[in-house]
Chain A
Amino acid sequence: MPDRKFVKGNEAIAMGAIEAGCRFYFGYPITPQNEIPEYMSAHLPGIGGTFIQAESEIASINMLLGAGATGARAMTSSSSPGISLKQEGISYMAGSQIPGVIVNMSRSGPGLGGISPSQGDYFQATRGGGHGDYRTIVLAPSTAQENYDLTMKAFDLADEYRNPVLILGDAMLGQIKEPVVLHPYQGKDYDRDWILTGCAGRRPRLIKSLYLSEGELTEHNWKLHQKYQSMKKDVMFEEFLLDDAKMVVTAFGSVARILKTSVKMARADKMQVGLFRPITLYPFPEAALRRISERIPSCLVVELSTGQMVEDVRLSVNDPTKVEFYGRPPGSIPSPNELLSEIKKAYEKLIGC
Chain B
Amino acid sequence: MKLNLISNATLYKLLPWAVTCLLISPIIALLINSFSSDPQGSFQHLFDTVLLTYSLNTLLLILGVMSLSFIFAMPVAWFVACCEFPSRTILQWALMLPLAIPPYIVAIVYTDLLDFSGPLQRLLRGVMGWQRAGDYYFPEIRTLFGAILILSLALYPYLYLLLRGAFLGQSGSLFQAARSLGASPLRAFYRVSLPLSRSAIAVGLSLIAMESLGDFATVNYFAVSTLTTAVYDTWLELGSLTTAAKISSLMLLALVILISLENYSRRKQKVYQRGGATHTQLRFVLCGWQKWGALTFSWILLVAAFILPLFTLCYYALSYFSASLTAALWQYTLNSVWLAIIVAGLALLIALTVNFYQRLCPGLFARTTIRLSSLGYAVPGTVVAIGVLIPFTELDLGVNQLLLENGFSGIGLFFSGSLFILVVAYLVRFSAIAVGSIDSSLAQVSPSLDLASRSLGQNAFQTIRRVNFPLIKKGMLTAIILVFIEAMKELPTALLLRPFNFETLATYVYQFVSDEMIEYAALPALLIVLMGLIPFIIVNRLLEKST
Q: Are A and B bound to each other?
A: no
Q: Could you tell me which A residues sit within 8 Å of B by CB distance?
A: none
